[in-house]
Chain A
Amino acid sequence: MTPERPVLLEIEDLHVSVGDREILRGVDLEIAEGETHVLLGPNGSGKSTLLNTIVGMPGYRITRGSIRFKGADLAGLEIDERARLGIGIAFQRPPAVRGVRLRQMLDVAAGGELSGAEVSALDDDLSLGHMLERDVNMGFSGGEAKRSEMAQLLAQMPELSLFDEPESGVDLDNIAVVGGAMNTLLKSEERIAERKRAGLIITHTGHILEYVNADVAHVLYAGRLACKGNPLDLIEEISSHGYDACVGCKLCQSL
């Protein structure tokens, strides 16, 4: 890690409730420019809640703590204002929007009309083909929906990209394509000093890490980040011993 790099995302003592239920209970997280972080944790531990809170989805109520992005407090900023500040997200299950074509979504994400060459570059990378002229996510297969999400992020080129289970419901060919797009976005194959854009990836299986280099992984457990460590080591530990044993282990907490 390179601590002197400017911090992009700074989360402090974040408590978030959805309805009456407190889901996040004091999350602390810092992501600096160029870093790629992984978020692990059992189902229902609040991983998607954390992502949705960062992008500003309604219904996620911050009861304590703060989220700062590039030094600015995100409280009170609308979803679109956060997006224009440089936060992007690839949803796990994006909604279908009748009458709005993927091609239009790419222009929206780019903040202006993309040139034909830019669209065909995205098409080449992600095999968008006929999807471009279809209503976004309307009848898209699992792989198509992920490729469409990646295309929108590539058009947006946000400084911080959030990925909610980019490999779920996707076959191996598509994981490779999605992983390739994530690499383009995060430049994870380059030395960290060369990178500017950062990422936060939710994954259950870690399959996506065969395509994307991540710097550090966190385990979200019972509403808090219980431990952090080397992504591949942590996944290995969790798959052999489970989350309970993993967060009980003192080793990674000292990292």
Chain B
Amino acid sequence: MPESLKPELQARLDEIRIAAESAVDKPAALGPDVDIRRFRTVSEQQKIETLESLKKQVKETVIHSGFVADEAERSGSYFQMDRTPIYERVQKAFDDAIEIMSTEEALRKWPEEMLEKYWWRAVMPDKDKYTAIVALHQTEGYFIRVKAGRKVEKPIQACLFVSESNVSQNVHNIIIVEDGAEANVITGCNVHVDVKEGLHAGISEFYIGKGAKLTFTMVHNWAEDFSVRPRTAVVVDDDGVYINNYVLLTPVKSIQAFPVAKLVGERSTAVFNTIVYGLKDSIIDLGSETQLIGEGSRSEAVARTVTMDRSTVTSRGRLVGRTNDCKAHLDCRGIVQSPESTQWAIPDLASEGAPGAELSHEAAISPIAAEEIYYLMTRGLPKDEAVSMITRGFVNIDIPGLPDVLRRQIDKAIEETSKEAM
């Protein structure tokens, strides 16, 4: 924390702390409750000079979420191991366009700006015990700012890595895409292969400026005994665009997230694409809420879920229209591939005093139709290949900005799981 803060800024920090303290035992509205007191906070780690110096096993783990050690294809990188930002770098060519650091460093650097505009301004610290634990025991998180008018094509990558068991990583992330800027951020959350139990509580507050665009791709790669509670809110200004891609292809103990996009700007847009594979005993409760506030705002949420083994997946989608000229659509489809797995599809639409709001949804849970499999077989494709081709088509929604490594990863997961389902 900054040492000598103006009284009003200190008052704001106190306000956040008091709000959080009131919520330390407040369970979340959704998802299984996690006893957060069981975990100690993550430890300090050594800084590194280059990403290449990461241990081989770590590199191999993070590549599954699109994080690469070779930075030629990236404009900037942030790597946090446990509680330490061990590596932050912006590539030379983008030196004056991007700022990357930990959020605590950003708060030290620009306390006034951060506290007034960004710090706990989109997510409330007393929302539940998971926001509270981050507000009270924050363990860094990334700060990424893309300067006004700068269009950064190469992705910025961020990785939050947990290497220890029985810890909670409590990160607070902030992304600011200033007016007219564009960025593509790939974040991977990973745990070391040996990690078993633990908690990741992550607050993410994103601010998309006027005419700005952020494509945010998140790949989760957790462990079977890991609990995950992200809390995300995105504020989009006039003509701003926010695209959220979320991919979960590995088992997790439980994850519950319900990011909120606040389309406050006129003609602002939010798109959520979600691909989820429920594996083993995972309990997965995911969705998104879009608040259509600005005139001419638009939103689309597409989710594809496949459940295997004994997993339970809840796929939620909420659209709230608060202006007459707004339009949004939800499209969630699921395939239940195991008789011991469960899926819920919960579309949820509301028009709050907006008679002109056009909100719609399609939700379906159904198997692959046998006649579709036979159809592909009449062209010479064996049954298992026909099933995997149709399943791949089912989940392969057109995701802009998805790195090839992720596309291959998704293909591989589908290949493996559809074989199991035969």
A residues sitting closer than 8 Å to B (CB atoms) are 55, 57-58, 78-80, 83-84, 88-89, 91, 94-101, 104-105, 108-109, 111, 135, 152, 156
Whether A80 contacts B380 in the complex (CB less than 8 A), given A58-B374, A95-B372, comes out as yes
The answer for the CA separation of A53 and B339 in the assembled complex, in Å, is 32
B residues sitting closer than 8 Å to A (CB atoms) are 369-372, 374-383, 386, 389-390, 392-396
The answer to whether B374 touches A97, judged by C-beta atoms less than 8 angstroms apart, is no
The answer for the CA separation of A98 and B393 in the assembled complex, in Å, is 7
Q: Given A101-B393, A108-B389, list of 19 further CB < 8 A pairs?
A: A58-B370, A78-B377, A80-B378, A80-B380, A80-B382, A83-B378, A91-B378, A97-B372, A97-B390, A97-B393, A99-B390, A99-B392, A99-B393, A99-B395, A100-B393, A104-B389, A108-B380, A135-B393, A156-B379
Most buried by B among A58, A79, A105, A109: A79
Interchain residue pairs with CB less than 8 A apart (21):
A55-B378, A79-B377, A80-B377, A80-B381, A80-B382, A84-B380, A88-B379, A91-B378, A95-B372, A97-B375, A97-B376, A97-B393, A98-B394, A99-B390, A99-B392, A99-B394, A99-B395, A100-B389, A100-B393, A101-B393, A108-B376
The answer to whether B379 touches A108, judged by C-beta atoms less than 8 angstroms apart, is yes
Whether A79 contacts B374 in the complex (CB less than 8 A), given A84-B380, A156-B379, comes out as yes
The answer for the CA separation of A109 and B376 in the assembled complex, in Å, is 9
Task: Chain B residues near A94: list those with CB within 8 A.
Answer: 375
Nearest CB in chain A: distance from B63 CB, A: 26
The answer to whether B372 touches A111, judged by C-beta atoms less than 8 angstroms apart, is no
Task: Chain A residues near B395: list those with CB within 8 A.
Answer: 99
The answer to whether A111 touches B383, judged by C-beta atoms less than 8 angstroms apart, is no
The answer for the CA separation of A98 and B386 in the assembled complex, in Å, is 13
A99 (CB) vs chain B CBs: closest residue: B393
Task: Chain A residues near B370: list those with CB within 8 A.
Answer: 58
Task: Chain A residues near B380: list those with CB within 8 A.
Answer: 80, 83-84, 108-109, 111, 156
B304 (CB) vs chain A CBs: closest residue: A99
The answer for the CA separation of A95 and B103 in the assembled complex, in Å, is 53
Neighbour of B383 across the interface among A57, A80, A91, A104, CB < 8 A: A80
The answer to whether B375 touches A95, judged by C-beta atoms less than 8 angstroms apart, is yes
The answer for the CA separation of A53 and B317 in the assembled complex, in Å, is 45
Nearest CB in chain B: distance from A109 CB, A: 4
Nearest CB in chain B: distance from A98 CB, A: 6
* Inter-chain CB contacts under 8 Å: number: 66
B394 (CB) vs chain A CBs: closest residue: A99
Task: Chain A residues near B389: list those with CB within 8 A.
Answer: 100, 104, 108
The answer for the CA separation of A100 and B391 in the assembled complex, in Å, is 9
Task: Chain A residues near B372: list those with CB within 8 A.
Answer: 95-97
The answer for the CA separation of A104 and B369 in the assembled complex, in Å, is 18
The answer for the CA separation of A156 and B379 in the assembled complex, in Å, is 7
Closest 6 A-B residue pairs measured CB to CB? A99-B393, A79-B377, A83-B380, A109-B379, A80-B377, A100-B393
Task: Chain A residues near B394: list those with CB within 8 A.
Answer: 98-99
Task: Chain A residues near B382: list those with CB within 8 A.
Answer: 78, 80
B369 (CB) vs chain A CBs: closest residue: A95
Nearest CB in chain A: distance from B242 CB, A: 25
Task: Chain B residues near A96: list those with CB within 8 A.
Answer: 372
The answer for the CA separation of A57 and B382 in the assembled complex, in Å, is 14
The answer for the CA separation of A55 and B376 in the assembled complex, in Å, is 12
Nearest CB in chain A: distance from B366 CB, A: 11
A106 (CB) vs chain B CBs: closest residue: B379
B391 (CB) vs chain A CBs: closest residue: A99
Task: Chain A residues near B396: list those with CB within 8 A.
Answer: 99
The answer to whether B371 touches A79, judged by C-beta atoms less than 8 angstroms apart, is no
A94 (CB) vs chain B CBs: closest residue: B375
A104 (CB) vs chain B CBs: closest residue: B389
Nearest CB in chain A: distance from B74 CB, A: 30
Most buried by A among B376, B380, B381: B380
Task: Chain B residues near A111: list those with CB within 8 A.
Answer: 380
Nearest CB in chain A: distance from B281 CB, A: 28
Most buried by B among A58, A95, A101: A95
A96 (CB) vs chain B CBs: closest residue: B372
The answer for the CA separation of A57 and B370 in the assembled complex, in Å, is 11
A156 (CB) vs chain B CBs: closest residue: B379
Neighbour of A100 across the interface among B369, B377, B390, CB < 8 A: B390
Task: Chain A residues near B374: list those with CB within 8 A.
Answer: 57-58, 79
The answer to whether B379 touches A152, judged by C-beta atoms less than 8 angstroms apart, is yes
Task: Chain B residues near A152: list those with CB within 8 A.
Answer: 379
The answer to whether B376 touches A100, judged by C-beta atoms less than 8 angstroms apart, is yes
Most buried by B among A83, A88, A91, A99: A99
The answer to whether A108 touches B392, judged by C-beta atoms less than 8 angstroms apart, is no
Task: Chain A residues near B392: list those with CB within 8 A.
Answer: 99
The answer for the CA separation of A84 and B382 in the assembled complex, in Å, is 10
The answer for the CA separation of A101 and B389 in the assembled complex, in Å, is 10
Task: Chain A residues near B383: list those with CB within 8 A.
Answer: 78, 80
Neighbour of B378 across the interface among A79, A97, A101, A104, CB < 8 A: A79
The answer for the CA separation of A98 and B397 in the assembled complex, in Å, is 10
Nearest CB in chain A: distance from B320 CB, A: 28
The answer to whether B378 touches A88, judged by C-beta atoms less than 8 angstroms apart, is yes
Nearest CB in chain A: distance from B362 CB, A: 12
The answer for the CA separation of A83 and B381 in the assembled complex, in Å, is 8
Task: Chain A residues near B377: list those with CB within 8 A.
Answer: 78-80, 83
Nearest CB in chain B: distance from A17 CB, A: 19
Nearest CB in chain A: distance from B136 CB, A: 45
Nearest CB in chain A: distance from B399 CB, A: 13
The answer for the CA separation of A57 and B389 in the assembled complex, in Å, is 19
The answer for the CA separation of A55 and B377 in the assembled complex, in Å, is 10
The answer for the CA separation of A58 and B390 in the assembled complex, in Å, is 19
The answer to whether B379 touches A105, judged by C-beta atoms less than 8 angstroms apart, is yes
